[in-house]
Structure 1
Amino acid sequence: MNIDGVDGAALEWLRDIGRAPYLPKQHRAIWLQVYDRLGDACLSGPLTPGSRLPGEVDLAELFSVSRLTMRKALSKLQQEGQLQARKGVGIFVRRSRTSYTVDDDLRFSQSLEANAESIETRTLELTRVRADQQSAAWLAIDEGAEIIRLSRLRIVDGAPIYLAAKDFPAKQFENFEAAFAPAQSVTDVYRAHGIDHHTRGETRVNGKFANRMEAEALQVTHRTPLLQVISVNLSAAGRPIEYNRGRWVFSAVELVFGERRLTTKKTSIGFGS
């Protein structure tokens, strides 16, 4: 078997572990034994971070199991974040965690660790809608008031890792779209409306499971664990100017709250649905 894009040594190693006899299924389900073997291969090699695996059909053949059995094992590994399936490309071992420094004074790309080779930003939505109860409360405006909603996807080294939905009070940003268009920069929008500096008013970090929309955007399996960061930015006068809901692939990032850099006034960390 010769599979394009798959490292030869890794392929041979997969062939070897696929040939090993399985325990009787009454001791452990066959799909879980496949999951165990692939998981160990991701942790101990030669399946290194970023490496590509054979496709589902080829893996099923290598492990002498059905496609359904292999699909269950791959799905569990994707939910746990060890593997990532990229549509039309293949299945990959997830890269090492990316560090993100929480700092008001840094752009998103500056906050990521320096070893990221490429960072792409994709705007998914920019529209004006009416504030629901939650957005209104965070932005200290009336429910039903006009807000500007911006949804963006951040892609690091070819892998989507961060999905953000940001709400802005329309009254404070009358020319949002025009200011945002040239460089797709929220910082430029702030400056165009007389906001040269802002602070983080509150940050909440919790866990959630990816819904279908989030899973599709982040290229993970439905109900994969995500790290959700909810925050509000304040103007120099203390007025809420941005309500942000950011969802990170849980296994792909660590958040760094440095004592010298941190300007968050209040931070609460917990896990929930």
Structure 2
Amino acid sequence: MTGGAMLARGRGVTVWRQIAEAIEAEIAGGGLVPGTRLPTEAALTERFGVNRHTVRQAVKSLVDKGLVRVTQGSGTYVEAKPLSYPISTRTRFSEIVVGQARDPAGRLLGHRQAGASLEIAEALDLSPEDPVMLIESAHFADGVPISWALAAFPLPRFAEVPEVYGATGSITAALSACGVPDYRRASTRIGAAVADATDSARLEIAEGRPVLVIDSINVDPDGVPIQWARSHFCADRVRLTVGG
């Protein structure tokens, strides 16, 4: 049977939707496991006997539903199962990811010195315009983007954070290099939003997809605030749990 023969063109359901349903059924049935690369656009066009525009509509609908993700220059992949992400007084991205047999990675996107905004100054017990180091970073599990964040650290105490984080991809290592071998989460605030253009590019998701926005404050062993962060998580890729 040819791919085109699989489609019932007279049953009142658009062709692209039938293609999306067929691929979704393969995912649900285990024929396409998480992390699998979908056939190329040309291969799907030949399989279903349709034009490329129709295939693109079908794939876009799967992206919008969070079933697959498009990686520029690489292809389209079946989404992995959501990462269980506990939030507690000791939240460590790498430990969470490794504990679920996945490979963690962090990437420095940029950094700059700036005066603390009112929000950051309040979080870090500073005066407005006190100097802070701002860093933007992205975080991955098995190469899949899970979150990106903007974080602030008081200066001059944490001037080395960008260099160490850029080399290691680890905030824990960066704080340790600045004389903070351990730290704890003092507060967490969880909200929701829809993905904008920045979220779309950094998380490889369609604009309008749900995003979890988490504001957090970490303190050193003496209770001194050392880090404020605002993290954007792809909501479909994590399952948050809140504990002690």
Structure 1 position 121 matched with structure 2 position 101:
no
- SS of 1:155's equivalent in the other structure is strand
Identity %: 25
One-letter amino acid matched to 2:224? R
How far residue 223 of structure 1 moved from its aligned partner, in angstroms, is: 2.5
Unaligned runs of 5+ in 2: none
Q: What is the TM-score with the length of structure 1 in the denominator?
A: 0.76
Q: Deviations over 1:179-215 (max 9, x none)?
A: 5566444324434444344332221222222222221
1:77 to 50, 62, 68: 62
One-letter amino acid matched to 2:123? W
1:135–1:76 distance in 2 versus 1, CA, 3 Å: farther
2:42 to 45, 57, 65: 57
Question: Which residue in 1 is equivalent to 2:8?
Answer: 21
Q: Counterparts of 2:163 and 2:72 in 1: how far apart (Å)?
A: 33
Structure 1 position 150 matched with structure 2 position 135:
yes
Farther-moved stretch of structure 1 (176-185 vs 223-232): 176-185
Question: Which residue in 1 is equivalent to 2:240?
Answer: 255
Question: Which residue in 2 is equivalent to 1:110?
Answer: 95
Unaligned runs of 5+ in 1: 1-11, 263-273
Is contact 2:69-2:78 (8 Å) kept?
yes
Is contact 1:133-1:143 (8 Å) kept?
yes
Structure 1 position 233 matched with structure 2 position 218:
yes
How far residue 159 of structure 1 moved from its aligned partner, in angstroms, is: 1.7
One-letter amino acid matched to 2:6? R
How far residue 120 of structure 1 moved from its aligned partner, in angstroms, is: 2.2
- SS of 1:173's equivalent in the other structure is coil
Is contact 2:4-2:50 (8 Å) kept?
no
Question: Which residue in 1 is equivalent to 2:84?
Answer: 99
Question: Which residue in 1 is equivalent to 2:27?
Answer: 42
Q: Counterparts of 2:103 and 2:192 in 1: how far apart (Å)?
A: 27
1:31 to 1, 5, 16: 16
Farther-moved stretch of structure 1 (152-161 vs 180-189): 180-189
Q: What is the TM-score with the length of structure 2 in the denominator?
A: 0.84
CA RMSD, Structure 1 to Structure 2 (Å): 2.8
Aligned residues: 244
1:199 to 156, 168, 184: 184
How far residue 167 of structure 1 moved from its aligned partner, in angstroms, is: 1.3
Q: Counterparts of 1:61 and 1:179 in 2: how far apart (Å)?
A: 49
Is contact 1:161-1:249 (8 Å) kept?
yes
One-letter amino acid matched to 1:152? S
Is contact 1:81-1:249 (8 Å) kept?
no
1:66–1:134 distance in 2 versus 1, CA, 3 Å: farther
